[in-house]
């Protein structure tokens, strides 16, 4: 049985093809510049050379159609025809407070997603278009919506409510929702395995650091608080998003500049964060290169980003009372040793002690590593996230009728003997290049 997962952004469509019986990834890829012109697909299939081709995709339907044609191509594809695919899992960024778990897509679900799309104006329209496009191409298989906000529906009211007129919450659903939930679910469950603990007796602080970043306080295995808010704009300093700021600031800027609400909203989401501080860079690699050359604003951007994460770690430790581990994940969390160093420096006083040599060594997506010092009261793990696997398992379980909210459901990756087959070859190559990496691999207890 083969399961397809789709993650449609505003101008991209990522995909993965998973062989459920073999528990192995057959192909991954992305169509970029959807709706923008100059579209192209990057495709990597098991046992075949990487493939890239230009193909104009003015709509997400065109992008999904291109994915299907690539997957069934005799030259670069991995399946004979689409009848092999038995389910499709779709990432949906914002489900509002309407969904506490993944769901099979039907007309009611689509109507609800449309009703809450104002809460995720940069993401949900693309997610909805992706589902609609895939249903046209694959009308006879179950489609499953996996909501990033669902994981955070366990937050208590003191965490998710804002101190604004209560009727705003009652009438307009103004509240904290949180995002990156699929990533947090995976990393929280894996951290419990590495610690040898019952997941529902485990307290964690998880930092998902990428172009979009957020941090999650996990109490007894469930989301307790998170840095992103009603939209993904709140919280940490991100690639182009401002994160935490005085709520009066936009009004001040509007009065001073004559910009309207839409223009200020766009600036806070697309022209702020690291890009806003540096004036030209959003990618951490570019910022690091500039900082090493003496660019003062690049260094300032790094310091601001690290300081914001450090503040949240301290706040969440106070909120949780007991922290069993600190976890880094996502692109920056997994690879940017220099950023982890800036964040971890000085946390010794609260029981988080890292090993600089281990930190420099830990740059891989193919295994879980431990970078804390041997005497650190709180372990520090780097756990490469796997949102696609969560989506795949949710889709299969929904199709089979065995799925439930995560507190009543057990994933394959919660087993002590779980092995990610898709990462075995990559880890072998990593160890050939850097044998010393083996010493920091985090084995389950």
Q: Would you please indicate which residues are annotated as catalytic (active-site) residues?
A: 148
Query: Helices (H), strands (E): how many in the chain?
Result: 16, 14
**Whole-angstrom Cα distance, residue 335 to residue 427?**
15
Strand partners, 42: 30, 52
Can you state the percent helix, strand and coil of the chain, rounding each to 5? Answer: 45, 20, 40
**Whole-angstrom Cα distance, residue 390 to residue 7?**
13
Neighbours of 409 (CB within 10 A): 15
**Whole-angstrom Cα distance, residue 95 to residue 113?**
6
Cα dihedral 196, 198, 199, 204 in deg (nearest 10): -60
Local structure of 244: helix, strand or coil: coil
Tokens matching residue 213: 């970043």
**Whole-angstrom Cα distance, residue 264 to residue 268?**
6
Closest by alpha carbon to 305, among 276, 270, 325? 276
The residue whose two tokens read 């004559």 is 258
Residues found in the chain: 445
**Whole-angstrom Cα distance, residue 217 to residue 319?**
8
DSSP element (H, E) containing 27? strand 24-32
Q: Is 14 exposed, middle or buried (0-12, 13-18, 19+ CB in 10 A)?
A: buried
Local structure of 273: helix, strand or coil: helix
């Amino acid at each position: 049985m083969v399961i397809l997962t789709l993650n449609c952004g505003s101008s991209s469509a990522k995909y993965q093809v998973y062989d459920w019986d073999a528990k192995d990834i057959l192909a991954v890829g992305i169509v970029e510049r959807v709706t923008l012109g100059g579209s192209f697909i990057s495709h990597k299939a098991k046992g075949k050379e990487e493939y890239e081709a230009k193909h104009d995709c003015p709509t997400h339907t065109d992008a999904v159609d291109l994915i299907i044609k690539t997957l069934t191509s005799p030259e670069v594809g991995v399946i004979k025809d689409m009848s092999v695919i038995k389910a499709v899992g779709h990432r949906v960024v914002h489900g509002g407070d309407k969904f506490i778990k993944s769901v099979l897509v039907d007309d009611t679900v689509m109507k609800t997603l449309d009703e809450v799309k104002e809460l995720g104006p940069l993401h949900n329209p693309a997610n909805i278009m992706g589902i609609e496009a895939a249903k046209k191409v694959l009308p006879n298989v179950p489609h499953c919506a996996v909501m990033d906000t669902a994981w955070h529906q366990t937050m208590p009211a003191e965490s998710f409510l804002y101190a604004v007129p209560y009727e705003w919450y009652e009438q307009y659903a103004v509240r904290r929702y949180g995002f990156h939930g699929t990533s947090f679910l995976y990393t929280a469950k894996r951290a419990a395995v590495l610690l040898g603990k019952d997941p529902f007796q485990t307290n964690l602080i998880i930092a998902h650091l990428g172009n979009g970043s957020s941090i999650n306080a996990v109490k007894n295995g469930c989301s307790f608080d998170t840095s992103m808010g009603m939209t993904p704009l709140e919280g940490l300093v991100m690639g182009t998003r401002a994160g935490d700021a005085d709520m009066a600031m936009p009004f001040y800027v509007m009065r001073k500049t004559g910009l309207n609400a839409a223009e200020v909203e766009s600036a806070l989401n697309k022209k702020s964060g690291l890009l806003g501080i540096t004036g030209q860079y959003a990618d951490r690699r570019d910022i690091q290169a500039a900082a090493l050359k003496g660019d003062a604003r690049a260094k300032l951007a790094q310091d601001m980003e690290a300081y914001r994460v450090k503040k949240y770690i301290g706040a969440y430790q106070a909120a949780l009372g007991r922290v069993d581990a600190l976890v880094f994940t996502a692109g920056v969390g997994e690879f940017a040793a220099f950023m982890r160093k800036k964040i971890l420096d000085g946390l010794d006083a609260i029981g988080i002690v890292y090993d600089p040599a281990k930190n420099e060594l830990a740059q891989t997506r193919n295994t879980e590593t431990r970078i804390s010092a041997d005497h650190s009261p709180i372990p520090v793990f780097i756990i490469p996230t796997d949102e696609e696997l969560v989506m795949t398992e949710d889709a299969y379980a929904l199709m089979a009728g065995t799925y439930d909210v995560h507190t009543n459901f057990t994933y394959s990756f919660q087993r002590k003997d779980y092995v990610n087959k898709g990462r075995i070859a990559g880890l072998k190559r990593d160890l050939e290049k850097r044998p010393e990496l083996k010493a920091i691999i985090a084995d389950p207890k």
